[in-house]
Amino acid sequence: MTKSVEAVNNRHNSEPHSKLAAAFNKDAARVGWHDETLWWVRAKRDKMAYQLPEWEALRQAASEIKSHTLANLGEYLVEFEQKAVENGLVVHWAVDADEHNRIVHGLLKGNGIDRIVKSKSMLTEECGLNEYLLKQGIDVIDTDLGERIVQLAGEAPSHIVLPCIHKKKEEIGDLFAEHLDTPKGCSDPKILTEAARQHLREAFLSRRAAITGVNFAIAQTGEFVVCTNEGNADMGAHLADLHIACMGIEKIIPRRKDLGIFLRLLARSATGQPITTYSSHFRKPDRERKIHIVIVDNGRSKQLAREQFRNSLKCIRCGACMNTCPVYRRSGGHSYHTAVAGPIGSILAPNLDMRQYADLPFASTLCGSCTHVCPVKIDIHDQLYRWRQVLVEKGYTTTSKTIVMKGMRTVLSSPMIYHTAAKAGRAILSNAPFLIGNRFNPWFQGREMPKPPKQSFGEWYRQNRAKDGE
């Protein structure tokens, strides 16, 4: 289990995306299969979106509700807290990951609990809760099947909705043989799933505390909604004495009637289902149980203050931007070395630490597909472009890159240099963009160089067309 601590530590002292992606690409067949699998999910999403004439209207409505909520977030959070407390829930506030982890640990310790179950929550991944609790001597079993698989492998999830999408069933078979006593060499999904079910059932029945995430928290009613396909959040929460729900401050929606819009968008965007199998509402605890909610900032209010990146907080964690991203599909989630990978992760992570995540906004071709699948219309690729400007301005770039860019500026900002030294200019263009910061030419590793022609268009035009040199 200490392997998972290592995985998270590695996440924080990581090689850049390009190197991790290159490592993932050593197994070309896996890249092909990873790409095809996620493209298939994207295609399922398309089919669902195409079936709804109101699809674009739904996206627009969701985006506007989120804009309004973010503009009034403080008031809605207070309203939510007030209603939740009236309902008998206990509300905690955490300024950062550390405080969040300490609150959760305090609740468990106070109830004398050292073994818990946890359903999917990207927030707890972001906060490194599992690793923190482990250090405090508390054993956590992740009950989402995909998360349990990566947990057994000592890895972090590689995708926010499909945590073990990078793993083949044979690899899962090997893990289960080692940890859950399934027959060696067995990779039959039915047998493996049944083994996981028996294993998790024991955990559900025996563990007294359950942690869940929160998909939506409704200010008007003080209730929160947890969406799963496996029912594991419900199994955990209903069988435990103590239910701790962890949510980021951006999970708020104003009214209950807004919920339908988001539920219709979430599963269609995520997996191409009309709705998640379970959309469970938690409003009031019954007499024997306690529900605590930990509401976490962890950099979100800072992002809220960055006007050009504020929209990133609209995210409902559907993962559609990952499934559609041609770079993500071919580099794997771990190459982003952050809890939330892919395009959305690349605009969220630099907010937390620019130095550490300076590579991520460049792990994109700016193709824009992410922006157009996003169910809440986050301008993801434009934000990637803007993060690049911010990161360079703040100095999170390399000197060699700056030198090359300044060289290009000198040539391209002067018609005289550009035109009178046409051959030299051609030589600079042949070399400069392809030699940045590298001893070897990265363009040439997989590609031939363009063949420079004898004459540029400008030269040809002057010779053949220009009347007076204009």
Distance from C-alpha of 364 to C-alpha of 342, rounded to nearest angstrom: 9
Nearest approach in angstroms of CB 172 to another protein is 25
Q: Are strands 223-228 and 278-282 parallel, antiparallel or unpaired?
A: antiparallel
Which of 257, 401, 403, 420 is close enough to bind another protein by CB under 8 A?
401
Please, which residue, 38 or 259, has the CB nearer to another protein?
38
Please, which residue, 91 or 432, has the CB nearer to another protein?
432
Q: Does 425 bind another protein (CB under 8 A)?
A: yes
Distance from C-alpha of 34 to C-alpha of 42, rounded to nearest angstrom: 12
Please, which residue, 294 or 373, has the CB nearer to another protein?
373
Give me the sheet containing 216-218, strands edge to edge. Answer: 252-253, 216-218, 223-228, 278-282
Footprint on residues 241-270 left by another protein (CB under 8 A): none
- Cross-strand partners of 295: 93, 247
What does the block give as tokens for 224?
A: 């929160």
Q: Are strands 252-253 and 242-248 parallel, antiparallel or unpaired?
A: unpaired
Q: How many residues does the chain have?
A: 470
Nearest approach in angstroms of CB 389 to another protein is 5
Nearest approach in angstroms of CB 44 to another protein is 13
How many residues bind another protein (CB under 8 A)? The answer is 84
Please, which residue, 102 or 386, has the CB nearer to another protein?
386
Please, which residue, 186 or 366, has the CB nearer to another protein?
366
Footprint on residues 24-53 left by another protein (CB under 8 A): 25, 28, 31, 35, 39, 46, 49-50, 52-53
Distance from C-alpha of 32 to C-alpha of 18, rounded to nearest angstrom: 18
Q: Does 455 bind another protein (CB under 8 A)?
A: yes
Nearest approach in angstroms of CB 188 to another protein is 30
Footprint on residues 125-184 left by another protein (CB under 8 A): none
Q: Does 414 bind another protein (CB under 8 A)?
A: yes
Residues 236-261 as b or e (16 or more Cβ within 10 Å = b): bbebbebbbbbbbbbbbbbeeebbeb
Nearest approach in angstroms of CB 23 to another protein is 9
Q: Does 456 bind another protein (CB under 8 A)?
A: yes
Selected range binding another protein among 131-139, 242-250, 270-278, 445-453, rule: CB under 8 A: 445-453
- Is the CA virtual torsion 88, 89, 95, 98 positive or negative? positive
Footprint on residues 322-351 left by another protein (CB under 8 A): 324, 326-327, 330-331
Say if residue 185 is exposed, middle or buried (CB neighbours under 10 Å; 0-12, 13-18, 19+). Answer: exposed
Please, which residue, 154 or 458, has the CB nearer to another protein?
458
Site string for another protein, 281-320 (x = CB under 8 A): ----------------------------------------
Residues 6+ apart with CB under 8 A from 113: 138, 207, 208, 209, 242
What does the block give as tokens for 125?
A: 């991944």
Q: Does 465 bind another protein (CB under 8 A)?
A: yes
Q: Which amino acid is at 284?
A: K
Q: Does 413 bind another protein (CB under 8 A)?
A: yes
Site string for another protein, 346-385 (x = CB under 8 A): ---------------xxxxxxxxx-xxx-----------x
The DSSP element (H or E) to which 407 belongs, if any, is: helix 399-412
Which of 1, 2, 22, 395 is close enough to bind another protein by CB under 8 A?
22
Distance from C-alpha of 163 to C-alpha of 62, rounded to nearest angstrom: 25
Please, which residue, 206 or 308, has the CB nearer to another protein?
308
Q: Are the C-beta atoms of residues 341 and 157 closer than 8 Å to each other?
A: no
Q: Does 56 bind another protein (CB under 8 A)?
A: yes
